[in-house]
Amino acid sequence: MKHVLTAVIVFFATLSSAQAQKLKLGFGFDQGFGVTGQVDNINFFVGNDGASGDYLFKQGQFDTQEVPMSWYIGGGAFFGWDHGYGIRMPFGLNFKLGKGWDAYAQVAPELDFDDKTDLGLNGGIGFRYAF
């Protein structure tokens, strides 16, 4: 129940701060299965294993006409519902699928500060619709 409440709070907080910005919402796998979103340069995810948020500080386009694809690098943090919290640095690709739709795939090296400091690697995929 607390997971659903957290997702609802994040969703409405994002909506109120994103009135002039483009909002993207969808589903994916990152911290388990859950809700993914993007407002400007901020990606967020709330799943059944935890939540994460990343600021995309570098973005670019590939010089190709065949595949409408862009890349990004970000920095952020994650928190597990049952265990684990830390910082991460996602490297990802965005794919434009159609009007308003995109898909993404990313890998994120993580520094976990739970019981002991530990390096790890996480990945994520998802679909989003832009409102």
pLDDT at 8: 46
What is the count of structural domains for the chain?
A: 1
Task: Provide DSSP, 27-73.
Answer: EEEESEEEEEEEETTEEEEEESSEEEEEEEEEEEE-S-SSS-EEEEE
Is 38:128 a contact under the CB 8 Å cutoff? Answer: yes
Is 29:105 a contact under the CB 8 Å cutoff? Answer: no
10-residue mean pLDDT series, the chain (131 residues): 51 52 91 94 95 95 80 96 91 92 96 88 95 89
Q: How far apart are CA 110 and CA 56, in angstroms?
A: 16
Is 124:26 a contact under the CB 8 Å cutoff? Answer: no
Give the domain range for residue 119: 2-130
CATH number at residue 13: 2.40.160
pLDDT at 84: 84
The CA–CA distances, whole Å, from 99 to 36, 103, 115 equal 18, 12, 45
Q: How far apart are CA 119 and CA 131, in angstroms?
A: 36
pLDDT at 101: 95
Instruction: Supply 44's token pair.
Output: 């967020």
pLDDT at 21: 64
